[in-house]
Amino acid sequence: MTSTTAKWTVDEYHRMIEAGILDDRRVELLRGVIVELAPEGKPHAYFSTETGEYLIRLLGDRATVRSGKPITLPNDSESEPGVAVVQRLGREYLSHHPYPENIFWLIEYSDSSLEKDLETKSRIYAEAEIPKYWVVNLRKRQLTVFRNPQNGKYISK
């Protein structure tokens, strides 16, 4: 017996959220698939909070720092990176989450999601031409920096 995965668009995903279907579920949309998010452990919470606060002080009014909030991408993806540094668009974000052209830099904090963050998300973000993407390996306290997206992948890692 074969099975087929149902694929969802960002609009369908938003309608599910608005209808309350995904209430009390920590999920994100990756390439049209609704994926459960791993529970946020203490190191993830600590580092994302510290990073967010530091970047807010450092960047001031030059950018908005969003921690654990959705970004909307054209490849039927709406992920929730640990930290997103985006354009300051104020109330415009009442009508949409940041789009790729609004995003300067993304940071993911990874423990159990390391493979997904290094492989799947790096391709999704490169396809969307996100200029900088960092993955913090919480187990080994290592940083992987992705830059220069071209043809659906980062040429600098």
The tens digit of pLDDT for each residue in 56-81 reads: 999 999 999 999 999 999 999 999 99
Considering only 36-45, 76-85, 89-98, which range has the smallest mean pLDDT? 36-45
- Whether the per-residue pLDDT at 150 is higher than 80: the answer is yes
Give the pLDDT band (50/70/90) at residue 15.
very high
Q: Which residue has the higher pLDDT, 60 or 3?
A: 60
Assess if residue 135 is contained within a domain.
Answer: yes
Instruction: Write down the pLDDT at residue 4.
Output: 73
Residue 58's domain spans which residues? Answer: 40-156
| 58: in domain | yes
Which pLDDT value is given to residue 3?
A: 73
Q: What is the mean predicted confidence (pLDDT) over 79-100? A: 96
Q: Would the pLDDT of 115 be above 80?
A: yes
Question: Is position 34 within any domain?
Answer: no
Give the pairing of strands 103-110 and 132-137: parallel
* Number of domains present in the structure of the chain: 1
Specify if 82 maps to a domain: yes
Map the chain to HEC letters. Answer: CCCCCCCCCHHHHHHHHHCCCCCCCCEEEECCEEEECCCCCHHHHHHHHHHHHHHHHHHHHHCEEEECCCEEECCCEEECCCEEEECCCHHHHHCCCCCHHHEEEEEEEECCCHHHHHHHHHHHHHHCCCCEEEEEECCCCEEEEEEEEECCEEEEC
CATH number at residue 145: 3.90.1570.10
State residue 108's pLDDT score. Answer: 96
- Is 136 inside a domain boundary? yes
Residue 90 domain flag: yes
Q: Is 91 a domain residue?
A: yes
Residue 102 lies in a domain: yes
Grade residue 113 by pLDDT with cuts at 50, 70 and 90. confident
